[in-house]
Structure 1
Amino acid sequence: MKTEKVAEYIISWLKEYAENAKVKGFVVGVSGGIDSALTSTLCAKTGFPTLCVEMPIHQAQSQVTRAEEHIKQLKQKFSNVSEVRVDLTSTFEDFKNVVPAAESSPKVDLSLANTRARLRMTTLYYFAGLHSYLVAGTGNKVEDFGVGFYTKYGDGGVDLSPIADLMKSEVYDLAAFLDVPNSIQKAQPTDGLFGDSRTDEDQIGASYDELEWAMKMQDAGKTENDFSGREKEVYKIYERLNRINQHKMVPIPICEIPDNLK
């Protein structure tokens, strides 16, 4: 990848989109992870006002610290960067208190994890509406179009996706080129939605390097029968997630009424 040229291209794309949309800037949810750090840096480099929003919900201190370090660095480099912190922990707890109680289960845990992401999306759009900004998505290609590792109408609810055509490895390359803090570059990827230390790899069962490989193999027309051992296991993980999460990746189905019934 021509890292410098790719960075310039994305920055130019963001500027042109904002100008055509006649908006004033960007808002980005900053989590302390590599994807949001890269996205916010690219937005900052456009020269447009860029609002970095921290939205902790029972967040691990290490994630909060990394987010704060990144935002501080951005503000030192770019006068167009501002920040706001909205602690949504009490909002999340209020939500849990008003919905009917449910017996603890993996489904409940996942539903509540997705609720966290959707509360954050709502918050980002509040600020976007307030300032006439666009919500910049932070999903990469493997997450958005490979395994669907994001929350529908949560972190998937955005106005534009500047890094969604980058593999995770390319995200790291670009982040290193743009001097994203080392603490973020070295941190284990995590969505931080469960209030514990589980990583993305813990949840998925495969690393991003492995998923990238599987994505390329599927694009090449391979099947699980072409592999054995760990490769076969990884391919099956990728293929299953890609299949069951298609509802996130394709347009919302519309029931089109036949003309003869209208």
Structure 2
Amino acid sequence: MQTEKVANHIVNWLKDYATKAGVNGFVIGISGGIDSAVTSTLCAKTGLKVLCLEMPIHQAESHVSRAQEHIKQLKDRFSNVSDIHANLTPVFEAFRTEMLFDGDQATIDMALANTRARLRMTTLYYYAGLYRLLVAGTGNKVEDFGVGFYTKYGDGGVDLSPIADLLKSQVYELGTYLEVPDSILKATPSDGLFGDARSDEDQIGASYPELEWAMGMDEKGKKPEDFSGREKEVLKIYKRFNNANKHKMLPIPICNILKEML
């Protein structure tokens, strides 16, 4: 990948889009992970206003410290960057006290994890409206178009997606070029939605390099039966997530009414 050219292309695309939209800049949720670090740095390089939001909900201390380290670094490097800390734990707890918990624990845990992502989306759009900003998405290509590893109307609810055409490995390349803190570059990827130490790989069952390989094989029309061992298992995992999460990646279905019925 021509890293510098890709970075400059994204920065120019962001600036052009925001200028044409008549907004002041961007708002980004900072998680302490590589995707939000790269996205916020690219936004900062536009010279437009960038608001970094910390939105912890029972967050692991390691996530919080990495997010704060990144925000401090960005503010030191770019005068157009500001930040707000919005503690959403009380909001989440208030929501939880009003909900009916009817189902197995795994289903309840997943519903609450998705609720965290949607509370953050609501917060991002509050500040976007307040300061005339665009919500910048932080999803990469594997997550957004491969396994659908995001929350519908949560972290998937954005105005534009600067890095969604880049594989995770390419995001790391950009992160190194953009001088993202080492603590983030070396951290194990995690969505942080469960308040524990589980990683993305724990949830999916495959690493990002494996998923990138599987995505490439799927694009070539390969099937799990074409492989054996771990490769067969990884492609099965990829296709299972891809099929189950199609509803996130395809346009919302519309029931078309025949003209003679109107």
TM-score by length of 2: 0.99
Q: Partner of 2:134: helix, strand, or coil?
A: strand
Letter of the 1:86 partner, please give it. A
Shift of 1:99: 1.4
Aligned partners of 1:74 and 1:104: how far apart in 2? 42
Aligned partners of 2:258 and 2:226: how far apart in 1? 44
Letter of the 1:260 partner, please give it. E
Task: Within 5 Å, give how 1:91-106 maps onto structure 2.
Answer: 91-102=91-102, 104-106=104-106
Aligned partners of 2:154 and 2:70: how far apart in 1? 22
Q: Partner of 1:51: helix, strand, or coil?
A: strand
Corresponding residue number in structure 1 for 2:109: 109
Shift of 1:100: 2.0
Shift of 1:103: 5.1
Aligned partners of 2:47 and 2:27: how far apart in 1? 13
Unmatched tracts of structure 2, length 5 or more: none
Corresponding residue number in structure 2 for 1:192: 192
Corresponding residue number in structure 2 for 1:255: 255
Shift of 1:188: 0.2
Task: Within 5 Å, give how 1:1-262 maps onto structure 2.
Answer: 1-102=1-102, 104-262=104-262
Aligned partners of 1:67 and 1:94: how far apart in 2? 25
Q: Is the 8 A contact 2:101 2:108 kept in 1?
A: no
Aligned partners of 1:33 and 1:100: how far apart in 2? 32
Aligned partners of 1:184 and 1:250: how far apart in 2? 31
Shift of 1:102: 3.3
CA deviation profile, 1:42-93 (whole Å, cap 9, x unmatched):
0000000000000000000000000000000000000000000000001000
Letter of the 2:39 partner, please give it. T
Q: Give runs of ≥4 in structure 1 deviating > 6 Å.
A: none
Q: Identical aligned pairs, as a percentage?
A: 68
Aligned residues: 262
CA deviation profile, 1:127-171 (whole Å, cap 9, x unmatched):
000000000000000000000000000000000000000000000
Q: Partner of 2:196: helix, strand, or coil?
A: coil
Unmatched tracts of structure 1, length 5 or more: none
Aligned partners of 1:165 and 1:103: how far apart in 2? 37
Aligned partners of 2:133 and 2:165: how far apart in 1? 22
TM-score by length of 1: 0.99
Aligned partners of 1:96 and 1:166: how far apart in 2? 36
Q: Partner of 1:158: helix, strand, or coil?
A: coil
